[in-house]
Amino acid sequence: MKKKEYQRISLLSYNIQTGVDTQHFRQYVTQSWKHVLPHRERQLNLDRIASVVGEYDIVGLQEVDSGSLRSGFLDQTEYLAHRGGFPFWYKQVNRKLGKLAQHSNGVLSRMKPSHISEHKLPGLPGRGAIFCEFGGSGGVTVCILHLALGRRARLRQVQYVSELLSDLPYVVVLGDLNCGGDSREMQLLMHRANLWEPGCNMSTFPSWRPKKKIDHILVSESLIVENARVLDYPLSDHLPIGIDIHLPDGVGMAA
């Protein structure tokens, strides 16, 4: 069977808060137990999230649990891959708390990556990045990020990441960056890695009344982007964001 060549790719970034459906600030307190113990609503919400991510070719996930007490020992990245019909998936466990929690990033893909690497980010343990290469050298690199809450740590992290990305021809960076587009961290990352952010200025956090845009998708200046959007699916405390990219002639991503 001839491989399908993708020239237009849809990408999504989603901080899923381990499947917890937070709808108000007070629930961070009143429903804090959901971040420690399993509950039936989490599974139902994961199925709703699977129906959203299943519409895309590549999905970057943040705040995923990789199999602990709170998730019913379910690897959420693998579960969403199966439910969403993704043949390829990868998880990066960044903070291991034994049976209590397995904090992770994840990636789901309809195309087979030619190479995957993971990186621990500078600062306190618990933050990481996944680099997925498609099409070999000269192809597209998709980087899934979840940056720190503190500005000083974020600056160190974007300096580290930008060095890894600076010489790559086609890059997409997506994730929860915990800072706005006009922040020093974002400007540094875009300048050093030759990236730009497509023009969707809608806020993503908190999902029930968005006031801040802290979830981002950045792309190389050489890539053409369509339909940058924030999706109105408040299934987490973040809203998901998506874009479509057109690959240049000669750059293919085969499934």
Higher pLDDT, 68 or 230: 230
| Total Cβ atoms within 10 A of residue 58 | 28
Distance, CA of 32 to CA of 4 (rounded, Å): 45
- Can you read off the two tokens belonging to residue 142? 């998709």
Looking at residues 236-249, what average pLDDT do you find?
91
Please tell me the predicted confidence (pLDDT) of residue 150: 95
Looking at residues 154-160, what average pLDDT do you find?
97
Complete domains list, the chain, with CATH = 5-254 (3.60.10.10)
Give pLDDT tens digits for 171-229: 999 999 999 999 999 999 999 999 999 877 899 999 999 999 999 999 998 899 999 99
Looking at residues 137-161, what average pLDDT do you find?
95
Nearest CA-CA partner of 175 in 10, 11, 15: 15
Half-sphere exposure for 115 (CA within 13 Å, toward CB): 10
Distance, CA of 111 to CA of 93 (rounded, Å): 22
Question: DSSP per residue over 52-104, as a string?
Answer: HHTT-SEEEEEEEEBS-GGGTS-BHHHHHHHHHT-SEEEEEEEEE-TTS-EEE
Looking at residues 85-109, what average pLDDT do you find?
89
Give pLDDT tens digits for 65-91: 988 777 778 899 999 999 999 999 999
Percent of the chain with pLDDT over 70: 91
- Can you read off the two tokens belonging to residue 56? 């895309």
